[in-house]
Each structure stands twice: as C-alpha cells, then as structure tokens.
Amino acid sequence: MGRIRFGVLGPVTAEDARGEPIALKGPMHRAVLGRLLVARRRVVPVSSLVDDLWVVPPDGPVAAVRTFVAALRRAVEPGRLPRTPPVLLVTRGQGYALLADPGDVDAWRFEQVVTAAATMAPGVALGALDEALSWWRGPAYADFPDAAWPRADRSRLTELRLQAVERRAQARLDLGRAAEAVPDLDEHVTAHPWRENGWRLLALALYRAGRQGDALAVLRRARELLAGQLGVDPGAALRTLETAILQQDPALDPPSSPTGGGEGTAEAVWARAASAYDRVLSGGSRVRLESAVGLLRNLAVTGPGGLEIAREQRAAAVAAAERALAVLPRAGHEPARTRLLATIAVESRGTHDPRPLDCARQAERMARGLDDPALLAFALNGVFMQSFRRTGGAARRDAVGAELVALASRHGLVTAEVLGHLIRMQAGCAVVAFDAADRHADAADRLAQRHELPLAGVFTEWYRALRADVAEETPDPEPAYRAAAARLDRAGMPGMRDGLLPLVLLGTRLRRGLPLTSPHDPAGDARRGPYEPWARLVLDPRSTGPAGIPDPPADLLAEALWCLYARAAIAAADVPAMARAREALLPASAEWAGAASGVLTLGPVSDQIAALDDALRRD
C-alpha cells in the first residue's frame, strides 16, 4: 500500500501517493476521519464517536459508525488483502485509531515546522514557514464549522497559523527585507486587530522601509483600537517601540548583514543539523528522522539569507548529510536515505569531486523505487546539478527537465514544474533553439504568476535579454542585461549576481567586436567576482598566462570560461594550454558557449574549436 496523506487545514481530505484525491463518500465518513485525526493516533471509543457525530443519534448508531469505518478502510487501505488485519485504520478494543505518520497529516507537519522555526536561522525559517503556510486551504476542519469535536484543535491550529505569519515577518525583518513584510502584516493586523505583536512588527517594518510617519500612524491606530474597544493601553513592547521611533533609535536599524550575528554562520548551521541528527539517531524514531531530514532539506533549498546561501553553509549541510548517512541503519529509512543523497548532490554543485555524482545516481535509483513523486523530483534536481561534469550535455538536461515537467504536472508539484521548464528553456538556449526555449520560458512565467513565484521571472528576463542579443533584435543589448542585473539585486541572489553582469557584457562585446570595457560603468565592469581569473586572461593578457589558471567550476558557465581560456592560450601560443582547452570544449561542439545558462554566450563553441585547430596547426 502506498502512502496516504491526510489534510485538515481546510476541508478534511485524503489523497493517495500519486496526489490523487481519495473519495470519502459523504460528510459522515469525513467526520469520522476528521475525529480520528483529532485524536492523533489515540483510540477513540465507539461511544465517543456516536456522541460527537450526532446531537440526537439515530437508531443503531454503533452499527452506523462501523459501516462508516469499514468504508473508510476500503478507501485508505485499498491494497489490503481479504481477511488480513488493517495497519492504518485499526480496531483497538471498543474503539478505533488512525495510525497515520506525522509526516502524512498536514496539520501535524505544520505544527512541527512552526515549532522548529523558532530556533532556525532567519533564511531557513522563512523558507520553511512560506512552504508550511501554503498548506492551508481554508479554516481547519472547514467542512465542520459548528461541530464541537474539532473546536479545540481548530483554535490551537489557528493560533499556530497566526504565530507562523508573525515569525515569517520577523524572519524577513532579520534578513533586511522590511518592505516585503509590510503587505502581509497589514492584512494580518486588519484581520486580527488584538495581536499586539502583529502591530509591533508592522510598525517596525514600515520604519525600516523608510516610512516613519506611517509607522507612527500604525501605532496610533493600534492604541485607538485597544483603548476604544477593549479599554486597555498598549503593552510595553508597543510603547517602547513608539518612543524609539520618535527618537530614531539606531537600535531599530536593520541588521548590517543578514548572515551576521552568529546564527547564520556555517558552524551554527552545522550545529543545528548535527544536533538534530544526533537526537534522531539516539532516539531511533522514524518520525524524528524524517523531521531532521526536512531541516537539512530546508538548508539545501534556502538559508540564513533566504537565497543568500554561503558556500560554507552548503558545505555544512553536506557534512551533516554525510554524517547522518554514515550512521543511518542500512535496513529501512529509504526515503530519508534518498533525501540525504539528493541533498549532497544538490548542494555540491560546481565540483569535480566524483562523490556527489555517485550520490545523485543513487538518489535517483532509490527514488524511482519509492512511491513519492516529490522525492523523485528532488532527486532529479540532484541529477541536474551533477550534469555538468563535462561541457555540453544540453540534450541530457533537456530530458531531465522534460521528466520533471511531466512528473510535476501530474502531481501538482508547482515549483518542480517551474524548475523543469527553466531547465528546458536553458537547454533550448544552449543550441539556439529559441522557439522551444520561448515556449518553456512562457510556461514558467504563467506558472510563476499563477502561484506567486517571482524568482522564476529573474531567469526568464535574463533569457529574453540574451535571446534579443543573439538574434540581434537590438543594436545595444546592454540596457536589457543591466535591467536583468538590477532585478537580481532585488531578488536577494548575490551568489548569482556576483560578477555575472561584467562577464555577460564581456561575452557580448567579444562576439560583437566591441571595446571590452564600458565607458559608462568601468568600476562595475571591474567587479568580476568568481570569474576574475578567466576574465583577466582576456582583459589583461599581460598580467598572467593560461598555465596557472585552474579548470572552471563544473557548472552552466564552464563552456564560456573555457572559451576565455582558449583565447588566451591562442594569444600566448601555449600549445599545451590550447590542447587542454580543445579537449574540454569538444563535447560541447554543437552548443553555444555559456548559452546553457540562459544568461550569456561567447558564441558557437565550434568556432572556438576551429580557432584552436588553426592555431595548433600553425604552432
């Protein structure tokens, strides 16, 4: 039997391992299911079910309850053989229990995330809370608004949801993203005007966004509501904040660095991850194991600066995953093992070490044997990240993207579907198949707009600037590139932003035969970031030769950096360096250098190989 997942954050639902809804017949069947979920794996006596389901029980209520339970069993355990005991909806004495795993009930997962977020670094908390809040489909147990049995659980979950909204806002403030927090907080205090912490966060966000007058107006509005309708004065936190705003207290200024203060350091990340795994492995609980793997997966997806993940933090996540794998029992725990292997593959991007590639292959193989589409999508992401061991490979990545799109569209995995389209967009761009790339860019944009995923537009905007450049649709492509770079600043993606624009502009100037530096922004163009060694070979050829330059990282820009290296090798008449460049570029001979990134290109790789061949014949 595949995993059955249950939802109560909205109407009571059940779905199979493929994400397809399970028919629960009528409202009484859903009520029985909801009542058993409220009990959290504890036994609910039949007499309690009768009392909770009916104000005035009908004739034969016990038989009716047994009929409902039998129908539910057939729905949630469809593969159980006749006369074999149930394992999910079980009979215990004179009652029933639903033995769902905590990871298979949205409310239980939500509670775990909100609790864990209190000790996470801001970026990790923001990513985790964003995802957790997206699980809500309406009020908890929405189809039973007047029943008494869900009332206490609904109140508790509602309070947790409000705490999650406030913790998410605090995480944004800690990351220096105050303006982003304002709209959600404004809606929050309007719907829940008695939550003083919400008013405090909104006023602080407005102040840090440069709106001091609005911040004071918000505090006045809070005071009027509290005093006028409840007859109480604002608490100490609101009074202190108002005084500090009036005095423009420097203590209210945003953090100087979203990764500062210790909690976002690699050592702190390691400590949290390692501590989680130590608790898991000593306790032997599968539930806690999956929860700790979820923490590590959050580290793989986000970090103390939202997307601003430092290399050291990725290394800490990989180290924690390796440590957990080393002590994980060999039997069982296949989903956790697969996630750990995929985490290593995803977070070890750009390396030539063979270990992450082996992890990617193991994770993919294991994920295909498990009935978990989301886990397979995560493993395929690892395969994609490890597909840059040599240059070229656009066709292989296009196949990964196609599988991600098909898998994700079947199972409602929106972010994975967007990723699949972006991969296919890049793969089409690599071979200048712009019609295909356009279709996937448009599809990614539609999904992103429908599901509020603004980061997808960062990549599609870069792609469209590159497309217009290569197709020579504009005499000056630099404004479009600079606009795309400005969007990176707003998106909080320094790992992608650092040095990228100068490299992009160098590529287009080389292709168009233009001066290699810009009179408009010479200082900006000089900030080459991680691409400095290869850009310097072309921009300042007398400073160094190609012999001492390392191989480029194994990523989407490898072909472009190898082409810069090849140009320098030809200019220096360095035969070993030319041979080295030719060998590296040969697998990408059908592609355009760097175009697989969707952000830049130095032109056809075949042209560079031809130039190397000519130079090698001469020398």
Q: What is the DSSP string of 292-340?
A: HHHHHHHHHH-BTTBT---HHHHHHHHHHHHHHHHHS-SSS-HHHHHHH
What is the distance between the alpha carbons of residues 486 and 491, in angstroms, rounded to a whole number? 9
346 three-class SS: helix
What is the distance between the alpha carbons of residues 546 and 555, in angstroms, rounded to a whole number? 20
Structure tokens at 313: 């933090």
Give the mean model confidence (pLDDT) for residues 423-440.
Answer: 95
**For residue 515, what are the contacts with CB-CB under 8 A and spacing of at least 6?**
509
Q: Which residue has the higher pLDDT, 213 or 230?
A: 213
Closest to 341 measured CA to CA, from 328, 45, 198: 328
CB 557 within 8 Å of CB 517: no
The burial class, CB within 10 Å (0-12 / 13-18 / 19+), for 338 is: buried
User: What residue has token string 């008013």?
Assistant: 199
Closest to 200 measured CA to CA, from 176, 235, 158, 165: 235
What letter does residue 519 receive in the DSSP assignment?
S
Report the pLDDT value the prediction gives residue 440, as an integer from 0 to 100.
96
**For residue 377, what are the contacts with CB-CB under 8 A and spacing of at least 6?**
404, 407, 408, 413, 416
Closest to 67 measured CA to CA, from 49, 51, 87: 49
What is the distance between the alpha carbons of residues 331 and 334, in angstroms, rounded to a whole number? 8
Name the residue type at position 35.
R
What is the distance between the alpha carbons of residues 349 and 347, in angstroms, rounded to a whole number? 6
Q: pTM score > 0.85 for this model?
A: no
Closest to 353 measured CA to CA, from 310, 302, 313, 318: 318
Positive/negative CA dihedral, 281, 286, 291, 294: positive
Q: What is the DSSP string of 484-495?
A: HHHHHHHHT-HH
CB 599 within 8 Å of CB 500: yes
Q: Which residue has the higher pLDDT, 206 or 544?
A: 206
CA within 13 Å, CB half, 451: 20
User: What residue has token string 């070229």?
Assistant: 392
Task: Indicate whether 301 pLDDT > 60.
Answer: no
Give pLDDT tens digits for 148-163: 999 999 999 999 999 9
Give pLDDT tens digits for 3-54: 789 999 999 999 887 778 888 888 899 999 999 999 999 999 999 999 988 8
How many other CB atoms are found less than 10 A from the CB of residue 153?
18
CB 574 within 8 Å of CB 585: no
Give the chain's length: 619
- Comparing 5-19, 28-42, 84-98, 524-538, which segment has the lowest mean pLDDT? 524-538
